[in-house]
Amino acid sequence: MSKTSQYVSKLPDANGIIQWTDEENQIWHDLIERQLTVIEGRACQQYVDGLALLDLPKGRIPQLSEINEILQARTGWKVTQVPALIDFDEFFRMLANKEFPVATFIRTREEFDYLREPDIFHEIFGHCPLLTNPDFAHFTHTYGQLGYAASKQDRAYLARLYWFTVEFGLLNTEDGMRIYGGGILSSPGETMYALESDKPCREKMNILDALRTPYRIDIMQPVYYCINQLSQLHDIAESDIMSLVEQAKLLGLHAPKFPPKEKMAS
């Protein structure tokens, strides 16, 4: 996790309202209009259904209370305002309490296409639609509980499972492969790359393999893991994940499918 960010989250006023500027609302509008076009025919139906339930505004950034009204009624979850960056203890604690952290800032025009840290567009548009789905919500809750109780070493393995499901997961359907990972669904480039490029490997989900697969956050993913039904996430949550973490630690990591980062010149 990055230690610093150029962004600062906005705090709500006494009425719980966050005041967004006209430019920030315009950036949201431009992001959502573009991405709605890109995900058409590529997002899984459960995500599309959740997006319809949230009925996100296009002309302005939604208030968190608007999202919570839907999430709490459907799955008991809520979104909670956090600083631009939080530590892993806080991240896992929040998920364990059915709180999804949302950093209340939006990217600048200069980082319109790619942003390292998750902004409100990534969190709300990418993840919140599926938090209306009981199977996805249960998996995320269980993951938070496990992570909050885990050691630092074990959390590194758990992070890979989260990456290859919640962030970058693919779903096999009768109509072809679809996307459920929020890291893909909030990125126009990766949305098309994940389904249509011949470069990445698309592997059948194997929890032990996912726990052992290295990843980088700053490149198009060289490997994706695919599930056959979203209910498979519920089954994964009910499996003995921590026992598989122990096996993964003994076996070690798979060789990365990407080159090492280039070192910055001193």
Over the chain, what HEC string results? CCCCCCCCCCCCCCCCCCCCCHHHHHHHHHHHHHHHHHHCCCECHHHHHHHHHHCCCCCCCCCHHHHHHHHHHHCCCEEEEECCCCCHHHHHHHHHCCEEEEECCCCCHHHCCCCCCCCHHHHHHHHHHHHHCHHHHHHHHHHHHHHHHCCHHHHHHHHHHHHHHHHCCEEEECCEEEECCHHHHCCHHHHHHHHHCCCCEEEECCHHHHHCCCCCCCCCCCEEEEECCCHHHHHHHHCCHHHHHHHHHHHCCCCCCCCCCCCCCC
What span, in angstroms and rounded, lies between the C-alpha atoms of 141 and 95? Answer: 6
Q: Is 167 annotated as a binding residue?
A: yes
What span, in angstroms and rounded, lies between the C-alpha atoms of 89 and 87? Answer: 6
Q: Is 127 annotated as a binding residue?
A: yes
What span, in angstroms and rounded, lies between the C-alpha atoms of 253 and 21? Answer: 45
What span, in angstroms and rounded, lies between the C-alpha atoms of 54 and 49? Answer: 9
Q: List, as residue ranges, the binding site for Fe cation.
A: 122, 127, 167
Q: List, as residue ranges, the binding site.
A: 122, 127, 167
